[in-house]
Amino acid sequence: VVITLGGNGCLCRTADGDVLRVPAVPAAVADTIGAGDTHAGMLLGCLYQGMALDAALGMANRAAAAVVARHGADILRTLEELL
């Protein structure tokens, strides 16, 4: 289970019962539309590619931070936008 916490990052409870807290990436927030969808999509994509859970959560936080810095539903188009 993953709970996004906006500017406080996210929490994840694993199947083993461990709780991971991953800090947010600082962002100048323009609009929060699409942040949750972006977080979920990036997390699932990273896990599908075999990335470790903590690293995938970090990438998801980075992606959400990049999206909230934009106005409206302006999505990320490439991974390079995060690197």
What CA–CA distance (Å, rounded) separates 31 from 12? 24
- The whole-model pTM stands at 0.89
Whether the pLDDT of residue 79 is over 80: the answer is no
pLDDT in tens, 15-71: 999 999 999 999 999 999 989 999 999 999 999 999 999 999 999 999 999 999 888
pLDDT of the residue at 82: 67
pLDDT of the residue at 1: 96
Question: Which among 1, 7, 10 is positioned nearest to 57, based on CA atoms?
Answer: 10
For the residues 67-83, what does the mean pLDDT come to? 76
pLDDT of the residue at 83: 66
